[in-house]
Amino acid sequence: MRPKPFHPEIYNGDPRFVKNRHDGCIWHRCENRTLYADTDRSAVVYHANYLRYFEFGRASLMRDLAYPYVDIEASGYVYPIIELGIKYHSPLYYDDAMWVHTRPGNLGKVKLSFDYVIIHGQTGEIVCTGFTEHCALNSAGRPVGIDEKTQKLWEIFPK
């Protein structure tokens, strides 16, 4: 199945954020490049490595929103992944440039999610789409409500 069109344009003059011309959604973006170690015997990026690219996008988004994971953890919270999904559309190969697009997804009382689109850096072709769902835990590992700063970031992130 073909993915929905994704045509990013720089948003408000800040190259870290783009607006999808197709649906108007705002996304954070960061550039990355595949390493030789990311590929498998068939010379394509091994499927599980896309989850590392999702993490890179997620961490970059939170850092650029002035709430990096190191600060989240210092405030007594962790957000482990409890569910994920990914659809592959086109492969990446060694040394391919990519754009990792990330945006806050759903926000619940103890769970939140991120959405992702990775596009090929040269062709603009959609490589994969996906999501991760996370649960808020305190430092003792018990589920708790999402911290106030994270809630606020989800509320103010442009839709």
Q: Which domains does the chain have, with CATH numbers?
A: 8-156 (3.10.129.10)
Q: Which residues on neighbouring strands pair with residue 11, listed in sequence order?
A: 14
Q: Among 113, 150, 129, which residue's Cα sits nearest to residue 5?
A: 129
Alpha carbons within 13 angstroms on the beta-carbon side of residue 151 total 9
Query: What is the DSSP secondary structure assignment for residue 38, as one 8-state letter?
Result: G
Over the stretch 23-79, which tens digit does the pLDDT of each residue have? 999 999 999 999 999 999 999 999 999 999 999 999 999 999 999 999 999 999 999
Q: Among 83, 61, 78, which residue's Cα sits nearest to residue 132?
A: 83
> Across residues 84-90, what is the average pLDDT?
97
